[in-house]
Amino acid sequence: MERRLGRIKAKIKRYRKNPLSLVLFILVTASACITFAVLLFIIGFILYNGIPHITADLFAWEYSSENASLMPALINTIIMVFLSLILTVPTGVFAAVYLTEYTKKQSKLAAIIRITSETLSGIPSIVYGLFGFLFFVTTLKWGISLISGVFTVSVMVLPLIMRTSEEALRAVPESYREGSFGLGAGKLRTVLSIVIPAAFPGILSGIILAAGRIVGETAVLIYTSGTVAKIPSGRDFMFDSARTLSLHMYVLSSEGLYTKQAYATGAVLLFIVLAINRTSGFLAKRIMKGNKGWRK
């Protein structure tokens, strides 16, 4: 206790001699406090206002103008995430494999691929939405439908999957590959049964992050998958319009008729996204630990 007091006293003395340092220290600490206060406030506010309004009605199987159920939107979201990942995960992971295993870091093509992927990740979601509307909806004549939404969203999360997979693959120690080659395995075998499994938690963390991004997206989907609050069914279900959860949230809050339901939907949406986000963070942390363990 006394030692601590002494340390604080010494600090005060130092700051007195050097007021600028104190000002800088206060600025930095205050900024950090603001950032985290804002985060806590937003999450707290949404959950606090939303949770009391969550009712069984909200999870009714069919949407009606009375219950404003989020169930169809929730199921549509799951379908959307699932189908998009089917398209984008193999593409993204294979692209990352190409970049890390099959080409030199300095090669021209790799540079072009990297630049395009960075360009893609900087494009805002509304531009993707516009592109999806022009290409999938209009030119390919798929209409405003689930499949148009799936393809557009897949293009959007592709750079995310590519980047996280590439990082994960690069983190695999060179000795794994050398060991595999040394035992007589070919390149394909090394990649598929040594490198990818070793990088798997990192790849998975990226995939989950992408899922979170898809769940949260709105502007991309408003004119590609549309706003019909029904679960697509039948033979041509891919060509039905399907509203996802965040779009549902947007429609509810912009109509202004369903304030309570909007609060509750906001809380549910936030909860889902945060849960997805934490899962991804947890996995990412685990690989870091795993790698350290190997080095020892």
Instruction: Please pick, from the candidates 72, 74, 81, 133, the single residue that binds other proteins as defined by CB under 8 A.
Output: 133
Helix axes 146-170, 125-132, angle to 10 degrees: 130
Instruction: Please pick, from the candidates 149, 240, 250, 287, the single residue that binds other proteins as defined by CB under 8 A.
Output: 250
Instruction: Please pick, from the candidates 57, 118, 178, 255, the single residue that binds other proteins as defined by CB under 8 A.
Output: 118
Residue 175 engages other proteins in binding (rule: CB under 8 A): no
Tokens of 220: 């991309």
Taking the complex as a whole, how short is the minimal distance between the CB of residue 234 and other proteins, in angstroms? 25
The amino acid present at 211, given as its one-letter code, is A
Helix axes 108-122, 146-170, angle to 10 degrees: 130
Q: d(Cα 246, Cα 266) in Å, to the nearest integer?
A: 8
Q: Which stretch binds other proteins (CB under 8 A): 60-68, 171-179, 198-206, 260-268?
A: 260-268
Length of the chain: 296
Q: Which of residues 1-40 bind other proteins (CB under 8 A)?
A: 14, 18, 20-22, 24-25, 27-32, 34-36, 38-39
Tokens of 244: 């996802």
Residue 31 or 175: which CB sits closer to other proteins?
31
Residue 48 engages other proteins in binding (rule: CB under 8 A): no
Residue 210 engages other proteins in binding (rule: CB under 8 A): no
Q: Which of residues 54-113 bind other proteins (CB under 8 A)?
A: 90-95, 97-99, 102, 109, 112-113
Q: Is 246 exposed, middle or buried (0-12, 13-18, 19+ CB in 10 A)?
A: buried
Residue 171 engages other proteins in binding (rule: CB under 8 A): no
Structural contact between residues 146 and 232, judged by C-beta atoms closer than 8 angstroms: yes
Tokens of 77: 């979201």
